[in-house]
């Protein structure tokens, strides 16, 4: 057992073996409306876990409380609302955390350690991420089946991956090109007389200002979930995988392979979180993201997603959605200017 695994198991043990509570747990408090919860002085922080199209309006109200806010990804469904959100929190007295939990998945944590801390690959040159998975699940009033509610598949589902690409490339995107569409899922689906228009597959290419080139592949008409990250540098290659079944009772697995001479992970190794963590959501990533939020409440520095990082991920996602529609690459300098976002990236 290496030190990282030892530390994790010690932390899990500490987290699970808590003493009995001296007082019985109170029932959750329910409120008639948003104003009521905002006016409750006993509330310490807010978590916005509502449908995407409600995020901006809710945040506008929560900002007035001055309390810490966790907002699920994406922070908004349009760049206009994302821009206004950034303006609201520019001088905010507390903090806002964006729900990019994929950066806490075990295989990505290990990959970032190898690339950034250990410099195992030397200079990063190319990055490739793929996700194969079943279609969107049922949500409240089927909001996720319509672009106007979700922001589009690449915004709703894939901003996680663009966050990872941006972090790994460590640069601003210069050009984005994408193709995709709706090939299989929900072709005959309607809700309240409205036909679904959500994309179910895409290929995205991102060229960064520092010369790093990246790609993202999405397929949402697979039977099971498979994720893959491949990072190549001038010294070698890293490959991570995750396989997870949507069938009840099935377990997931995550692996890491570091293809550099003499590395102990040259032969792929299992990096799956312990089962008690895996079952907490998104293969354990949600658990650690929520721990990060609690740490921030205690004033402990963390590496959770900031609003600016949330905006960066949205920027690539929205550019990719627009590229699918136009069939043309998007020049990101012009794209930022056209959407009034240049000030956030100076």
What would the pLDDT profile of 36-80 be if each residue is shown by its tens digit? 999 999 999 999 999 999 999 999 999 999 999 999 999 999 999
Do the domain assignments include residue 276? yes
pLDDT at 251: 80
Q: Reply yes or no on whether the pLDDT at 20 is more than 90.
A: no
pLDDT at 108: 97
Q: What is the dihedral of CA 321, 331, 100, 65, to 10 degrees?
A: -100
Residue 52 — φ and ψ, nearest 5°? Answer: -50, -45
Nearest CA to 306 out of 163, 96, 81, 70 is that of 96
Tokens of 238: 């890293």
pLDDT tens figures, 123-149: 999 999 999 999 999 999 999 999 999
> Which CB contacts under 8 angstroms, 24+ apart, belong to 37-42?
38/62, 38/64, 38/65
Do the domain assignments include residue 325? yes
Domain count, the chain: 1
Do the domain assignments include residue 55? no
- CA dist 80 and 178 (Å) reads 21
How far are the Cα atoms of 43, 58, 71, 110 from residue 28, in angstroms, in the given order? Answer: 12, 20, 20, 37
Residue 237 — φ and ψ, nearest 5°? Answer: -140, 145
Give helix 307-326 / helix 79-89 axis angle, nearest 10°. 170
pTM, to two decimals? 0.91
Do the domain assignments include residue 29? no
Do the domain assignments include residue 320? yes
Q: Reply yes or no on whether the pLDDT at 285 is more than 70.
A: yes
pLDDT at 21: 52
Cα 10 versus chain centre, distance: 27
Do the domain assignments include residue 86? no
Q: What is the dihedral of CA 300, 306, 307, 309, to 10 degrees?
A: 170
Domain that holds residue 323: 104-283+310-345
Q: Reply yes or no on whether the pLDDT at 343 is more than 60.
A: yes
Q: Residue 205's pLDDT band (boundaries 50, 70, 90)?
A: very high
Do the domain assignments include residue 80? no
Do the domain assignments include residue 82? no
CATH at residue 328: 3.30.360.10
């Amino acid at each position: 057992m290496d030190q990282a695994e030892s530390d994790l198991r010690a932390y899990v043990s500490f987290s699970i073996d808590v003493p009995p509570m001296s007082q019985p747990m109170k029932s959750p408090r329910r409120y008639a409306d948003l104003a009521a919860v905002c006016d409750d002085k006993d509330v310490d922080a807010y978590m916005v876990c509502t449908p995407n199209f409600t995020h901006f309006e809710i945040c506008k109200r929560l900002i007035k409380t001055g309390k810490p806010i966790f907002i699920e990804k994406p922070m908004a469904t349009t760049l206009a609302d994302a821009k206004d959100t950034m303006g609201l929190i520019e001088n905010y007295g507390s903090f806002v955390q964006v729900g990019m939990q994929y950066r806490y998945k075990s295989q990505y944590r290990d990959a970032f350690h190898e690339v950034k801390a250990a410099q195992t690959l030397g200079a990063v040159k190319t990055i490739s991420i793929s996700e194969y998975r079943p279609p969107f699940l049922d949500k409240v009033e089927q909001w996720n089946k319509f672009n106007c509610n979700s922001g589009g598949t690449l915004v709703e589902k894939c901003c996680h991956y663009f966050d990872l690409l941006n972090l790994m490339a460590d640069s601003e995107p210069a050009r984005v090109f994408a193709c995709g569409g709706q090939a299989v899922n929900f072709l005959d689906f309607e809700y309240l007389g409205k036909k679904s228009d959500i994309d179910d597959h895409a290929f995205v290419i991102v060229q960064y200002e520092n010369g790093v080139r990246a790609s993202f592949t999405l397929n949402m008409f697979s039977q099971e979930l498979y994720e893959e990250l491949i990072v190549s540098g001038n010294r070698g290659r890293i490959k991570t995988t995750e396989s997870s079944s949507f069938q009840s009772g099935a377990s997931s697995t995550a692996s890491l392979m570091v293809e550099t001479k003499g590395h102990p992970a040259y032969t792929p190794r299992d990096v799956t979180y312990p089962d008690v963590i895996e079952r907490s959501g998104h293969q354990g990533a949600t658990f650690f993201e929520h721990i990060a939020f609690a740490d921030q409440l205690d004033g402990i520095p963390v590496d959770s997603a900031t609003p600016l990082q949330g905006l960066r991920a949205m920027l690539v996602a929205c550019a990719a959605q627009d590229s699918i529609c136009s069939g043309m690459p998007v020049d990101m300098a012009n794209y930022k200017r056209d959407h009034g976002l240049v000030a956030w990236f100076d």
